[in-house]
Structure 1
Amino acid sequence: MSALGVIATVVAAALAAPLIVMTATFAVEVIAGLRGTARTRGVATDSCPGTVIVMPAHDEATIIAATLARLMPELPPACRVLVVADNCADDTAAIAAQGGAEVLRRDDPVRRGKGFALAYARDHLADAPPDVVMVLDADGSTDRASIATMARAATQRPVQAVNLLSPDLSAAPMVQVSNFAFVIKNLVRQRGLWRLAGRVNLTGTGMAFPWAVFRDAGLATADIVEDLALGLELARRGQLPGFVADATVWSAASSAEGTLKQRTRWEGGFLATSRTRALPAIGNALRSKDFRALWAGLSLAVPPLTLLLLLDIAGLVVLGGLMLLGASAWPLLLLGCLLVVAISGLGIAWMRVGRPFLSGGAAIRLPLYVLWKIPLYLGLARKRPTGWLRAGR
């Protein structure tokens, strides 16, 4: 091999290494999550510790009545709902009270965000704390068995239920693809992370905490992905969030415009968190020789699905160019093989759990979805989203 070929190979290896690690981590996690987990749901759906469902709500007057109408009949006897009407300029508080919920009004234009709303609820509950605090979004729905299962599991540790968007095969193809990506993130990869790391990520709705954990948690922040950050902080303290795979919470799917807003919020916050926390987590795990913590750090380093695909495709193009300069073929072949494995895992996941969320016709348009997301990533490169972003309902 010529000197130019050696240099090109070194450059190719350096370029391919992070892509190989991220793609391999994603593929293994998806494959590990294809099989269902052991059931924890009991038969006694009325057997529930004292539980408060905290529902942060910012200008949700158009949906809060319907949300409570679905939720209130599902409550076990020892469970109640506390709505925090946070910086609302509409009738959210009055409508929530009419719907049977306990209501707190919070007005603080400077300290805005879901984390501050949760901290406000915590202060209110401190005088007579419940056994368990559960968090549900203002557009969320669930069933009595899921509530009871989450509450019982949360007496021992913080837990996260399966958090999915309601399937709608009549929605725009881009919305369907995004909903399927949500299934991969919040069901398949969560199951894989649970098996490989013994913990999962908190996703903001359908999470529950023992009072002692909720009481001491760092809630009052303006972090745009406060749920992810909270889960990482709890794990750092040794309070690893568990996965309640047979409890499910649902949120309504958005329009194409609302979906883009959702993805901008979550992916922007995730990437910012990943940049600052993934490498330190991996380093700490290597020093302590903790394989499960190492996997959690690697998982945190994996970018969102569409961005991972874009990076891999761009990487393959560059690696192909370096081969023309004499670089070895192994970086391109290894990355290409891992990408095939990852896509195959996604195909199997679609056949097993994804078809209610993504039609075959919409799946064919996946390349268009990838292109649709490019402006999002260009925007995130310029400015990270801040504030309490609500998706279009």
Structure 2
Amino acid sequence: MGSTISTLIKDFNFFIFLLFSLMYSYKIVYMFVAFKAKKDNNPGVQNIHPRKFAVIIAARNEELVIGQLIKSIKNQKYPKELIDIFVVADNCTDHTARVAEEAGAIVKERFNRDQVGKGYALDYMIKTIEREYSSRKYEGYFVFDADNLLDENYIAEMNKTFNQGYRVITSYRNSKNYDQNWISAGYALWFLHEAEYINLPRMVLHSSCAISGTGFLVHADVIKENGGWIHHLLTEDIEFSVSQIIKGERIGYCRSAIFYDEQPVTFGQSWHQRLRWAKGFYQVFTNYGRGLIGGIFQGKQNRFSCYDMTMTIMPTMLVSCISSILNGLLYLASFFELFDDKGIINTTTTGVLVSIGWSYGVMFILGFITTVTEWEKIHCSGWKKIAYTITFPLFMFTYLPISVVALFKEIEWKPIAHTVVKSVDDFR
């Protein structure tokens, strides 16, 4: 019996490895496409026909940082009369509203303890704009978090991509606090990788990108077609992306539009935030998985985008964790002599170590390549860049227990305090 179980373990581990390799092999193509695109350094379309935009900032107790964001928006190299800044001070108990108003924003306060979350705040502000400022005829809405900072050319660059016909556009996400510790660096490195090695090749291949929480632009017509901001799952950004892709929308990416945001630095903050993300991905997969999978097989023009997003939201971390747990249980069973064949211990030990080794290696390579190619844009000392490349796989490994806990635990949206007060001048 023991030898049979050893064989089953080997076959199971090989099957999981082969399955994942096949499902995600297209990401290797993405890497080569990104290399070529970065080498070509194509400046793209130079059509700068200026459009009128509303900037929406959903803020909750952000008095420390929101002033710098508004300042960076007002300092844009873009016609000032074509940018209006709106702040929804959502259930604030500090001076966010006053600070934002003094900085030059149009501020609306919202107090609703039942409908809590960024999605509700965005919908409230969009409907307020449509009701009270309809005469201004905004062509698009920018969405930012209060801790963000914009490069001075951000809106001008996004406007160029907007003029190419993209109705939803995401941008290059950099970090305000990459150098704080391995947690903030882990977040930042992933977002850099996501921008240049996932969204850039998607853009080159005329597939659809995806927005990521903040730093994006949505055409006013998209909002009208949807009936406002109707996405209220725990990850409203990926929900919005998936729903638009199912409808056939192609989301664009503007790599020359750079913004900075603040990442969590304590493991407690990080755990809770990523727990919400993991739960939100489960929610999106449950609610939209059928539509995505249907898009793959119904011969739509965006069927590859549907496949790509299916792979993005599919709970692969959970499958990996289940695989590790199964190997671990068999190892313990053999250790306590529940099976006669001690070869099971060697088999499971080898399987676990090989799995960890491969996973670490892949994550390290992704982090290393991203660090090398984005070296000049990472605001951090050289030795820290190298050190955080080494710790990046460890940061990604922590998603394993998070994915399991998120499956069973009820999660509510909670704000994360932002305390890194910097200006755009600090990144020049």
Shared fold per TM-score greater than 0.5: yes
State which of 102, 119, 122 in structure 2 corresponds to 1:118.
122
Mapping for residues 166-245 of structure 1, pairs under 5 Å: 166-169=176-179, 171-196=180-205, 198-217=207-226, 219-245=229-255
Task: Answer whether contact 2:148 2:262 (CA < 8 A) is retained.
Answer: yes
SS at match of 1:74: coil
Distance 1:284 1:270 in 2: 18
RMSD of aligned Cα (Å): 4.0
Identity %: 18
Gap change, CA 1:335 and 1:195, over 3 Å in 2: farther
Report deviation, 1:65.
Answer: 1.9
Mapping for residues 381-392 of structure 1, pairs under 5 Å: 381-392=407-418
Task: Answer whether contact 1:23 1:338 (CA < 8 A) is retained.
Answer: no
Read off the aligned partner of 1:20 and give its amino acid letter.
S
Gap change, CA 1:144 and 1:80, over 3 Å in 2: farther
The corresponding residue for 2:263 is: 253
State which of 284, 288, 306 in structure 2 corresponds to 1:273.
284
The corresponding residue for 1:363 is: 389
Report deviation, 1:158.
Answer: 1.3
Task: Answer whether contact 1:64 1:92 (CA < 8 A) is retained.
Answer: yes
Distance 1:134 1:17 in 2: 41
The corresponding residue for 1:33 is: 34
Report deviation, 1:219.
Answer: 1.3
Gap change, CA 1:337 and 1:105, over 3 Å in 2: closer
Alignment partner of 1:107 is 2:97: no
Alignment partner of 1:162 is 2:172: yes
Tell which deviates more after alignment, 362-371 or 226-235.
362-371
User: Deviations 1:116-141 (Å, cap 9, x if unpaired)?
Assistant: 22212222222223112111111111
SS at match of 1:136: strand
The corresponding residue for 1:89 is: 93
SS at match of 2:138: coil
Report deviation, 1:186.
Answer: 3.4
Distance 2:281 2:185 in 1: 21
The corresponding residue for 1:284 is: 295
Tell which deviates more after alignment, 266-275 or 230-239.
266-275
The corresponding residue for 1:134 is: 142
Report deviation, 1:318.
Answer: 9.7
When Rg is computed on C-alpha atoms for both structures, the one with the higher figure is 2
Distance 1:234 1:369 in 2: 30
Distance 2:91 2:29 in 1: 43
Report deviation, 1:375.
Answer: 5.0
User: Deviations 1:6-52 (Å, cap 9, x if unpaired)?
Assistant: 866764565445433455344444444344264337486xx521111
Tell which deviates more after alignment, 339-348 or 211-220.
339-348
Report deviation, 1:303.
Answer: 4.8
Distance 1:259 1:338 in 2: 21
Read off the aligned partner of 1:52 and give its amino acid letter.
A
Distance 1:5 1:264 in 2: 34
Gap change, CA 1:237 and 1:292, over 3 Å in 2: closer
SS at match of 2:209: coil
Tell which deviates more after alignment, 52-61 or 278-287.
278-287
Give the count of matched residue pairs: 385
Structure 1 unaligned segments of length 5 or more: list them: none
Distance 1:183 1:319 in 2: 39
The corresponding residue for 2:308 is: 295
User: Deviations 1:148-206 (Å, cap 9, x if unpaired)?
Assistant: 2213433532111122322533x122322232122222332222333456111111222
SS at match of 2:104: coil
The corresponding residue for 2:372 is: 351
Read off the aligned partner of 2:306 and give its amino acid letter.
A
Distance 1:384 1:288 in 2: 37
Structure 2 unaligned segments of length 5 or more: list them: 335-340, 420-428
Distance 2:360 2:326 in 1: 11
TM-score (ref. length: structure 1): 0.81
Gap change, CA 1:370 and 1:188, over 3 Å in 2: closer
The corresponding residue for 1:76 is: 78
Structure 1 segments of 4 or more deviating over 6 A? 2-6, 307-322, 332-339
Report deviation, 1:346.
Answer: 3.8
Gap change, CA 1:160 and 1:213, over 3 Å in 2: same
